[in-house]
Amino acid sequence: MRRKRGALVPLELAILDAAAAHGEPVHGFELAKMLADAEGARSLTAHGTLYKALGRLAEQRLVEAEWEDPAIAAREGRPRRRLYRVTGEGARRLAAARRRATALDAAAGLA
């Protein structure tokens, strides 16, 4: 089934949620761990699934991606990280999704 243009899938919402809760810019592997922890899953999100979702969020300007300063990576003796931060628009979309979910839960509770 083709997704509606601009609609967010559960993984994208989970990424926004995790990154927003973290507050600081977060890199891909850290996000994969946060997602696994949040879901109590043993396996980490696949590379392709995670970075495709992050790419889509960046294209929609819901997250901002930025390569960290190479000097920091060199000082710490590791490859450069690509850091993601939730934008204002991303926070708004996340809040709207949460409101919808709450309303649906309430409606289900009333039914």
Partner 1 sequence: MSGDRLALWWVDRYTSGLDAQTQADRRAEIVSDLWEHRNDAGGSLATQFTIASRCLRGVPADLSWRRSRARRRRALPGRGPLLRGAGWALAGTSYVFLVAQHAWFATALAGLHLYGEDWAPGDVEAWSRTSGVLAAALVGGVLLLRAAPRVGAACIAGASLGTAGLMWWALPMMGPIAVAATTGAAVLARRRVRTIQRASSATS
Which residues sit at the interface with partner 1, rule CB under 8 A? 27-30, 32-33, 43-52, 55, 67, 78-82
Q: In angstroms, give the least distance from the CB of 80 to partner 1.
A: 6
* Residue whose CB is less far from partner 1, 33 or 85: 33
Between 80 and 91, name the residue whose CB sits nearer to partner 1.
80
Contacts with 50 (C-beta within 8 Å, 6 or more apart), sequence order: 15, 28, 31, 32, 35
Nearer to partner 1, 46 or 104 (CB): 46
Alpha-carbon distances of 51 from 24, 45, 79, 82, 108, rounded to whole Å: 19, 10, 17, 11, 34
